[in-house]
Amino acid sequence: MVSPVEGEIVEVNPEVLKDPSILRKDPFGQGWLMTVRVPDEESVQHNFLPVHLVKAWSGIAPNGSSPNCRNWQVPSWPTAGG
């Protein structure tokens, strides 16, 4: 697996290791794989979709939270086309 960002893996989901089918059943909730701490958000932002596309794709609520993603917030840093 290739990561779109460099950083340190700080958490791995043990439930997915026990039951990989969780990835298919709930990829944006219980099926998360890992938490990565990036050294510098600005250096990796070019690897992500623009915020407006992410909002349209994932159904993010107006307050920036996503009902589909575990503890996820829309980044406050600017993105190309966002």
Count of beta carbons in the 10 Å neighbourhood of residue 68: 14
Report if residue 4 sits inside a domain: yes
Q: Is the dihedral of CA 81, 37, 73, 1 positive or negative?
A: positive
Each residue of 13-59: pLDDT tens digit?
A: 999 999 999 988 888 788 888 888 888 877 777 777 777 776 676 66
Cα separation, 55 vs 49, in Å, equals: 10
**What domain count does the chain have?**
1
Report if residue 81 sits inside a domain: no
The token pair at 19 is 């039951």
Give the per-residue pLDDT at 61.
54
Tell me if the pTM is above 0.75.
Answer: no
Q: Which domain holds residue 20?
A: 1-75
Report if residue 35 sits inside a domain: yes
Report if residue 71 sits inside a domain: yes
DSSP annotation of 13: -
Short-list 57, 46, 40, CA closest to 81: 46
